[in-house]
Amino acid sequence: MGFSYSVPLDEELKLSIYDLIIKPIRDQDRQEGLLFLQRLLQGAQEVWQDITSKIDSIKDLWSVDDCPDGFLQYLKWIVGWTKELDHITKNLDAATLRRLISVSVPMWKRRSTETSIIDLLSTLVPARSRIWSWFELRWILDTDFIGLEEWRGRDPWILGPDDPYWMNVRIVDNPAGTINRQLLKDVLNLMRPSGERFEIVFLRFLDLFEVDGDLSQWQEYGGTLAISPVVEEGLLKLLDTTQQEGLCASVEGADDWGDTGGVMVTARIRWQTGGDWVGPGLMWHLDPDLLNGYYVQFDPGRNYLLMGKITGGTPSSIADTDLDPLGITLEADRWYCLRVQCVDNGVVNVIKIFLDGEEIIDTTDATYDQGNIALWHTINADGEYDEIEVMPLPVEIETVEINY
C-alpha cells in the first residue's frame, strides 16, 4: 500500500471513568458504598471501550490481513481494482480477493510481463500454468536461425500457433471445469501487453519442478520401489542406477486420463548413464497397482527408441525403432522432448510418438484405453526431467482475441 504499520497486541483503553472521580468520593465508595459507584459506572466504561475499539479498528481497513471481509470491496479500489474491473472481482470469495489485493501493487508495476500474468493466475484461479510469449515462439519456431541442436529438447509443434501476435497460455484444469474459465479470460484480456491474442490450452497435469523438494503431485508406483527421487535446480532427478525408479501422478482423476478419447503426454528428458536396452522414458495408460500400461523408452546404447506395453510389470515390444536411418543419434547429457499422442478411434488406440517434433513411431494397439502417467528409468540407467504436461485429446482450447 506504500507504507507499513503494526497494531500493538492486547491494546486496551488505559483510562477509567471511575478513576476520573475525585479521590474522596472513591475512598468513601470503597469504605461505605461497597463499590456501588464503581459498579454503576461499569456499563458506561464498557460502552466507552466499545466505541474506542471501533475507532482503533479504523486503521485495520488499510490492512490486507485485518480488514473485515465486508470492506474488502472498498480496499481493492485503493490498489487499482476500481468499478470498471468489477466484472473480474465481484464474484471472488473473501480469501481470493484478499490475496489479489496483497499482490496488486507489485503486479501493476510488472503488468503484462509473463511473470506477472502467471502470478496473477496463481492468485485468482489458482492452478499451475505456464506461458509462451510470441517472442519465445518466434525464437523457437524460426528455423532459419534455430536448428535442432539449439531447440534443446523443445518441441516447436507443441508450443502454439506460428503467429507472432499470439501468446500461448497452458493451465491445469483438472478435473475439467474446476477453474473459472470466464474469469481466466477476463484476467488475460486485462493483462495483455497491447494487441496480442491469447490461446488458452487446458491441461490435466503440469509440473515444471520449480520448487525444490516438491513431490506433492507424485507417488511411487507399484508400492514396492525403494526409490529416492530428488527435485532441485528445476529438475526431477532419478539417479539410482542400481534399480528401476519410477513416479506416477498423484492427482485427482489421474487413473482416468484418456477416457475423453485420447491423451497427449510431453516430457523433456536427459540422462547421464545408459546403454543397450537401458535408459529413461515415460508411461501412459498406466495402472500403478497392476503395472499395466504403455511405455516409451530411450535405448542410447543401440540408438533405438523402444515402444511397447507392460503387463503385470513385464514389458513386450510393439514398435521399437532404429534411429540411425532417421539421422538421429542419441547422446547423454542432452535434452530430448518426447511426445506421445494416443487416440482411441473406437476400435484401437492410434499411437504416435515424436522426438523433438519429428514423428518417429506410428502404430496401433487396443490393450489399454485409459490410465495414469509415469516418469521412469530402467536398472543400469538414470533419468532427469525438467517438465511434463498431460493434455486431453481432443484438445480443449479457448481464445482471447482482439475484439474480446
Residue 90 pLDDT class (50, 70, 90 cuts): confident
CA–CA distance, 355 with 350 (Å, rounded to integer) = 17
E-strand ranges in 2-146 read 129-132
User: Which phi and psi angles does 118 have, rounded to 5°?
Assistant: -65, -40
Distances (CA, A) of 383 to 140, 239, 242: 25, 6, 13
Residue 76 C-alpha cell reads as 481493492
CA–CA distance, 231 with 234 (Å, rounded to integer) = 7
Question: How much is the average pLDDT of 153-177?
Answer: 72
CA–CA distance, 160 with 323 (Å, rounded to integer) = 27
Residue 179 C-alpha cell reads as 477453474
pLDDT in tens, 239-280: 999 989 999 999 999 999 999 899 999 999 999 999 999 999
CA–CA distance, 91 with 97 (Å, rounded to integer) = 9
Q: What is the chain's length?
A: 404
pLDDT in tens, 336-363: 999 999 999 989 999 999 998 899 999 9
Beta pairing partners, 232: 235
Question: How much is the average pLDDT of 378-392?
Answer: 95
CA–CA distance, 43 with 359 (Å, rounded to integer) = 83
Is residue 191 classed as helix, strand or coil in its secondary structure?
Answer: helix
Query: Could you tell me the pTM of the whole model?
Result: 0.79
With vertex at residue 321, the alpha carbon angle to CA 150 and CA 358, rounded to the nearest 5 degrees, is: 35
With vertex at residue 374, the alpha carbon angle to CA 376 and CA 175, rounded to the nearest 5 degrees, is: 165
Query: What's the one-letter identity of residue 393?
Result: L
pLDDT in tens, 122-162: 888 888 999 887 665 554 444 433 443 344 566 655 554 45
CA–CA distance, 160 with 163 (Å, rounded to integer) = 9
CA–CA distance, 402 with 404 (Å, rounded to integer) = 6
Say whether pLDDT at 31 is over 50: yes
